[in-house]
Chain A
Amino acid sequence: MKVAVLIKQVPDTTAKVGISNGSMDEAAISKWSISPYDEYALESALALQSGSGATVVAITLGPERASKALVDAAAVGADELLHIVHDGAIGSLSLQKALSKAVTRVGAEIVLAGKQAADTNSGSTGPGVAKALNYACVGLVSGIEGGADGFIATRSTPSGTERVFVKSPCVFAFDKGDSELRRPNVRGIMMAKKKPIEKISLGDLGVDQADGDVAVTSVEYPPEKPPGQTFQGADSASEVAIKLREEANVI
């Protein structure tokens, strides 16, 4: 069984964001990391690897620097690495098309992804890739168990959680998972550096980037919130209670 994990390299959530002339200044970002939810997807893929001998293929799309995310995935145990090298923006449809073609290329019947990336915060990739592949899709997954003819996924719902059965092929979009993330050891890190990364282009996958109709016009800092009021000492809480009623009108 082959399991594909879709990984996005994003600015570390603790990193400062630089904006100049209405667009992101990539050079200002001090640290890049695997998007947090993708780490839970990777962790579940590695559990399938140790549980049922699945081969885990980590796939990313991004500029050259994104190879680092694949090396990090290899350091914790990913078997094969595929990098779709692309610099600059890409529309959601082209992205999904490229990733789905990559999944087909590596021959994976199970696809694991984070429910959304920490930078764009969209959450379109998992369900979109499932559509492009005509795979079933389960979102908001916190864990999966393999069975004889399919999987049982635990997902959260507005009223609680559900355990749902799904036949492969399918896509799982991961929320924060139940299991603790494994950390790389020294041997893993050394081995990962030697692991080959297959690099291909959008053209190799036959993706022409023809999606239009939406254009990012600018990226800006959020408007400064007017400074709030500060109160000293516990007794001031009574004043705040009154302000919540009379000024803010929220209680």
Chain B
Amino acid sequence: MSVTIIAEQQEEGIHTTLPQLVSAASVVGGPCTVIIPGGGGEAAASQIEGVDKVLKFNGSCFAIFDSQSWSTALKGSIEGTVLLASTPQGRELGASLAADIGISIIQDVTSVAEGVKVERPVFSGKAIEKVAVSGAAVVTIRPNSLEPAGMGGSAPVSTIDSGEDLRLAVKEAIAKASEKIDVSDADIIISGGRGLGDISNFEKLEEVAGTLGAAVGASRAVVDEWGLPHSMQVGQTGKTVTPSLYIAVGISGAIQHLAGMRSSNYIVAINKDPEAPIFNVADYGIVASWEDALPVLHDSIKALP
């Protein structure tokens, strides 16, 4: 069966998830088309190994994200299994496309095997659902779940002009307050919880984050009680993240928090309570007060050759 990937934009270029989606496409099998809805990055997409064709869509409707209009514009060019990244935009567009084409959708898949068999975490990660896909379907794939495909391809790029109209209009765009790295994009995240005692102690996390090039996250408790931005919240009603390293500082590890970070590649937990549930998912657990342990960790990281 053919595979159509809908790429997402990231800072005027192609999203880091695209090579991961191409690697999923090779498991599904069949010719692989990458659709780029507005923006740029078609040259980069054409060089990913395994891509057979790149379709670049142009049109005024791609100026802002509008899942309903985008879906109407793209659906005529879609064949077979449709793959998107399980990002907020990917999920919304995927759901619109599935409804538009009249096929099923499986969201937030973390494993793709021949057949086509996929797996996805459900119930906040407390269970894994295994799903068999026999016909065409839309599948969204959790970022960083699959190894990326290599480079070295040279797929032809063609452009399509869409006359579709937007149904939404942006009145005001408010950029993030700072240059800080967003937890959704970060390869390393250091998060703080109630154990930090006071909002001012997030500065200490910022310092470590600066050294590591990490993003700073937070538990729901401190987002709600200390008024931190919701964009920092990791967990059930915040973001689900899959960095290569997640450092939890003063976070006890409520099930809602674990749901958002337990599939991180490596987890470090610093907590003075040896019974804290965060230690059940930690690869490296440090039983100590964060005030004592964090400076040691920071200095040791700086001292690494």
Please determine whether B104 and A24 come into contact, CB atoms closer than 8 angstroms: no
A93 to B170, CA, bound (A): 30
Bound together, the chains give a CA A223 to CA B126 distance in angstroms of 10
Which label, helix, strand, loop or mixed, suits the secondary structure of the A interface? mixed
A161 near B245 with CB under 8 A, answer no
Q: Scoring B residues 244 to 278 as 1 if CB is less than 8 Å from chain A, else 0, what string do you get?
A: 11000000000110010000011110100010000
Q: Are B304 and A137 in contact (CB under 8 A)?
A: no
A21 CB to closest chain B CB (Å) equals 13
Could you say which residues of chain A place their CB within 8 Å of the CB of B167? Answer: 136, 166-167, 170
> Which residues of B sit under 8 angstroms from A219, Cβ to Cβ?
122, 127-130
| Among A127, A165, A223, A225, contact of B281 (Cβ-Cβ < 8 Å) | A225
The residue in chain A whose Cβ has the minimal distance to the Cβ of B270 is A237
Nearest chain A CB to B8 CB, angstrom units: 9
A229-240 to B contact mask, C-beta < 8 Å, 1/0: 111111111101
Query: Chain A 182-200 against B: per-residue CB contact (8 Å), 1 yes, 0 no?
Result: 0000000000000000000
Evaluate contact between B284 and A162: CB separation under 8 angstroms: no
List residues 1-21 of chain A with CB under 8 A from any CB of chain B: 11, 13-14, 16-17, 19
Closest B residue, CB atoms, query A11:
B123
Number of B residues with CB within 8 Å of any CB on chain A: 97
The yes or no answer to A209 lying at the interface (CB within 8 A) is no
Question: What 0/1 pattern do residues 77 to 91 of A give for CB contact below 8 A with B?
Answer: 000000000000001
A50 in the interface, Cβ–Cβ < 8 Å? no
Bound-complex Cα distance A251 to B171 (A): 41
User: Which chain B residues numbered 51 to 87 have a C-beta less than 8 Å away from chain A?
Assistant: 64-68, 71, 87
Instruction: Assess whether A121 is in contact with B122, with CB atoms less than 8 Å apart.
Output: yes
Interface string of A213-251 (1 = CB under 8 A from B): 111111111110100111111111110111111001011
Residue among B108, B267, B301 with most chain A CB within 10 A: B301
| Interface pair B288/A91, CB less than 8 Å apart | no
| Binary A-proximity of B184-222 (CB < 8 A = 1, otherwise 0) | 110010000000000000000000000010000000000
Having A130-B96, A161-B173, one finds 13 other A-B pairs with CB under 8 Å, namely A24-B127, A92-B95, A92-B105, A121-B121, A123-B91, A126-B95, A128-B96, A128-B98, A211-B104, A217-B117, A228-B267, A231-B284, A241-B304
By a beta-carbon cutoff of 8 Å, the part of chain B in contact with chain A is 10, 64-68, 71, 87-89, 91-96, 98-100, 102-108, 117, 120-137, 167-176, 182, 184-185, 188, 212, 230-231, 233, 236-238, 244-245, 255-256, 259, 265-268, 270, 274, 279, 281-289, 292-294, 296-297, 299-301, 303-304
